[in-house]
Structure 1
Amino acid sequence: MKPFTLEEIAAACGGKYVGDAEKKQLCITSVERDSRCIKDGSLFLAIKGERVDGHDYIEKCFESGACCAVCKKPPINVQKPYILVDSTLEAVKKIAKAYREKFNIPIVGVSGSVGKTSTKEMLYAVLSQKFKTHKTEGNLNNELGVPLTILSMPENTEAAVIEMGISDFGEMSRLAQIVQPTVCVLTIIGCCHLENLGDRDGVCKAKTEMFKFAADNAEFVLNGDDDKLAQITDVNGKKPIFFGLKNSNRYYAENIKNNGEGGVSCTLCADGDKFDVVIPAIGNYMVSNALAAVAVGRILGLSDEQLKSGVEAYKTVGSRAHVINTGRIRIIDDCYNANPTSVKASLDTLSNFDGRKIAVLGDMKELGKEDLKLHFDTGVYAKSKSDVVISIGELSKELAKGAKGKWFADIESAKPEILSQIKDGDTVLVKASHSMQFEKIVEFLKANF
């Protein structure tokens, strides 16, 4: 970490420092919320969760080397300094904001209804060709994850890519105040979190809260193929930079060819320059993600050679459009999350593969009052893109109706049908909201095929 003293931390969060006065000048080595990750010099965040209260582990953390704790209530056995606050979660946001302000580097904030993580990983691959780049790990994109991501930036960080996920109004404002992005990237405005956001206009309003708290002279890189984002003509006195598959965008693509497991080949076009790439991933949407990264790379001074190398260095993460070839079938493991926009994109990807196409789909959560219609419409689309549709979950009854496919209440009851329908040479898409635990289906398929 950059030097960050206990005195600075207490001042940043408005907490009460309790301990030896001379230790106020101690610099922390890391910020941890998990007692198992404590190192010598760590600052421990005592956060009360649904099942575990971090306050119960303060003494253990002190014994493991923590130099200080941020907590809502004092430790029972005071061994080392602590900072007393009204809310540890609110405190860590303020601490992260203060730490971010120690860096005068490009920080890219990434959001959108679909493609946040894959775009973040593409940006990381590209920017790493020139900079020592820091990125969001895993799913640390919320009001705790974003501060922890900022606070884990090494001292020698030269650029950062921060994923910012929200589900309600006001959340993006709070995240953006911490991140203060120098480049704002928005992917797609889709149908997600509609229980809180109402409709796509609400989603757009919530996502674009990022703009208000962007750094001075920030750039804004938006998907021009998205009808909502394409309407934005001015942000903080600047014209947005648009990317997308359409040639009306400043950054667009030509000669797109899907090669299944061989990736997607295309020509990326940027301000009159063109270069050919092979993206090591599946789906046309990855071309759009690559264009976003190229646009940001151009802003930050990367050469075309660096841009090409970065795009071709992309790696998928987790259960996001990950192709597993068992030798008998191909599994598209895309079960990290789902909404109508992302499911349709995955079905488009499925349709690019040779042979029979099987879609195993599940409930899409947080879609609000239109959830049944959205499931039905997704089912209709699934029928047009696949040979067999198997749907699982209460909401997916409507998906099954739209697809004229088989419906099952849970994964266990669906397994016999999955086994009977899938044949050697098939490609199987597995996708649902994360809470549906469709990773169990992926493991079942791997074990049986």
Structure 2
Amino acid sequence: MKNMSLKEIAAACGGTYHGDPALLSKEASSVAIDSRKVQKDTLFVAIKGARVDGHSFIPQVMDQGAICSLSEQDLGDVTYPYIQVASCTEALKDLAEHYRRSLDIKVVGISGSVGKTSTKEMIASVLSEKYCVLKTEGNFNNEIGLPLTVFNLRKEHEVAVLEMGISHFGDMEPLAKIARPDVCVITNIGYAHLENLGTRDGILKEKTSMFDFMNPDGTVILNGDDDKLRGYTSERGIQPVYFGLDPACPFHAEQIQKMGLKGTVATFVTPSSSFSAHVSIPGDHMISNALAGVAVGYALGMKDEEIIRGIEKLVPIAGRNNLIEAEHYTIIDDCYNANPASMKSSLDVLAFADTRTVAILGDMGELGADEKKMHAEVGSYAVKKGISLLICIGTLSAEMANAARTASEASSDSDTKTLVYHFDTKEAFYRQMDQLLKEQDTVLVKASHFMEFPEIVKRLQVQ
């Protein structure tokens, strides 16, 4: 890793080097916090977690070939080099900021309440048609994950697409300082993390603080369909570029043809052209994601034909509107995480199915004082979309079930009433699953991550 000698590492994180001075010029080949990922010349950072303290693995990783370890402890008279720091977590961020500054690379930073990951995947798919791209993998979008993603950048990479997740005031600043984005994308300002951020205006303030550390000659790309982002004025005088379904947005879509669970075909309009492309993942939100990809592609000098190929090559990932054709059911695996807006979007997708529709929904976290009301709104929405069977699991999901029953009973059409069931736990649901589900059902599975709904997806696949 260029500019990552032990001398530079110690200086970047304000640490004190202990060991043979002759090794100070050696460069680390990689950075890891997991002892299982340590290879020859890896820099090991001993993070102290809730259950495991990385310091206990330092002797082991040095035997495995690590070049050095970062430690908050004085390790005494040891035979291997280490750098003592006040905080390994802060040192990890300082090192990532140092490494990012040393790279001649374009960075796209993505944030938003809903759709960060699916938008990241679309943007990366588009940009990969012209550039060598590194993207955030999985949920590596926080103060630990983002630095580890940055450390994976190598000389062959031309663009990094970095997802940036926040849940508290002050979370964005360290992420933005590391990423230093050239292009900033915000998908929307929703209701996720209201428990910590108070209001949507609080969320807007925190997410837009990304701009404080962006390239001053860079581009801000915002969702023009979002009421908080539309008309946003930056204190730094940056004029945003807008994408959205609203024709007033410079990047918008027309002639949208929905093809059920096979996706959508649309005409994408840019400030200088228009073209048709097929988005294989269904849902209006995927057209919005594609528009973000088009806008980023234009910001980085791509041609229409390159952008079209990138849009059409996108494939779903596990837990994100991933369509699974199992033996007995068609499963929409969207159980990575959830909030009210993404729940409703997923119900929109489910409603496209031409079979009986089943939604297995669970609790949503971090919604603040209005959490019961927001769960109830999702239940009512499921009935409005004509979902055949709604299965609610979890404590808060009782509100979802109660609202759905009320809405269904109020419906004048007895043939389209939604059947509603509530279970306190997944285990209680499993005991009745065979009686509730039918052959050829299309089944949506979605809840916040802590509900561990991937377990349900696996059960459905082996039924």
Q: Give the TM interval when normalised to the shorter protein.
A: over 0.9
Q: What stretches of structure 1 of length at least 5 have no aligned partner? A: none
Instruction: Give how far 1:76 is off.
Output: 5.6
Asked if the contact 1:110/1:163 (under 8 Å) is kept, the reply is: yes
Q: Distance in 1 between matches of 2:329 and 2:73?
A: 55
Asked if the contact 2:251/2:268 (under 8 Å) is kept, the reply is: yes
SS in 2 for 1:205: helix
Partner of 1:433: 448
Asked if the contact 2:112/2:187 (under 8 Å) is kept, the reply is: yes
Q: Distance in 1 between matches of 2:275 and 2:433?
A: 43
Question: 1:138-157 residue pairs with structure 2 within 5 A?
Answer: 138-157=138-157
In the alignment, is residue 50 of structure 1 matched against residue 50 of structure 2? yes
Partner of 2:252: 252
Q: Distance in 2 between matches of 1:77 and 1:131?
A: 48
SS in 2 for 1:25: coil
Q: Distance in 2 between matches of 1:370 and 1:135?
A: 34
Taking structure 1 as the reference length, the TM-score comes to 0.97
Q: Distance in 2 between matches of 1:328 and 1:88?
A: 49
Instruction: Give how far 1:2 is off.
Output: 2.5
Asked if the contact 1:353/1:427 (under 8 Å) is kept, the reply is: yes
Question: 1:112-131 residue pairs with structure 2 within 5 A?
Answer: 112-131=112-131
Aligned equivalent of 1:409, options 424, 441, 463: 424
Q: Distance in 2 between matches of 1:424 and 1:165?
A: 39
For residues 260-299 of structure 1, what are the alpha-carbon distances to aligned partners after superposition, in whole Å with 9 as ceiling and x for unaligned?
Answer: 3422211111114111111121211111111101101101
Partner of 1:27: 27
Instruction: Give how far 1:314 is off.
Output: 1.0
Letter in 2 for 1:214: M
Letter in 2 for 1:419: D
Taking structure 2 as the reference length, the TM-score comes to 0.94
Q: Distance in 2 between matches of 1:59 and 1:130?
A: 44
Q: Distance in 2 between matches of 1:172 and 1:150?
A: 16
Partner of 1:390: 391
Instruction: Give how far 1:234 is off.
Output: 3.8
Question: 1:75-90 residue pairs with structure 2 within 5 A?
Answer: 75=75, 78-90=78-90
Partner of 1:37: 37
SS in 1 for 2:398: helix
Asked if the contact 1:392/1:411 (under 8 Å) is kept, the reply is: yes
Partner of 2:409: none
SS in 1 for 2:274: strand
Q: Distance in 2 between matches of 1:109 and 1:226?
A: 18
In the alignment, is residue 345 of structure 1 matched against residue 360 of structure 2? no
Question: 1:15-414 residue pairs with structure 2 within 5 A?
Answer: 15-75=15-75, 78-234=78-234, 236-385=236-385, 386-404=387-405, 405-414=420-429
Asked if the contact 2:3/2:102 (under 8 Å) is kept, the reply is: no
For residues 319-338 of structure 1, what are the alpha-carbon distances to aligned partners after superposition, in whole Å with 9 as ceiling and x for unaligned?
Answer: 11001112432111100000
Partner of 2:435: 420
Q: Distance in 2 between matches of 1:401 and 1:435?
A: 22
User: Which contiguous aligned blocks of 4+ residues in structure 1 show a shift greater than 4 angstroms?
Assistant: none
Q: Distance in 2 between matches of 1:426 and 1:67?
A: 54
Q: Distance in 1 between matches of 2:398 and 2:107?
A: 43
Q: What stretches of structure 2 of length at least 5 have no aligned partner? A: 406-419
Asked if the contact 1:55/1:75 (under 8 Å) is kept, the reply is: no
Q: Distance in 2 between matches of 1:411 and 1:328?
A: 20
Letter in 1 for 2:450: S
Q: Distance in 1 between matches of 2:394 and 2:77?
A: 49
Letter in 2 for 1:380: S
Q: Distance in 2 between matches of 1:400 and 1:190?
A: 23
Q: Distance in 2 between matches of 1:418 and 1:388?
A: 12
Letter in 2 for 1:418: M
Aligned equivalent of 2:461, options 437, 446, 449: 446
Instruction: Give how far 1:4 is off.
Output: 1.5
Identity rate, percent: 47
Q: 1:432 to 1:92 in 2, by over 3 A?
A: same
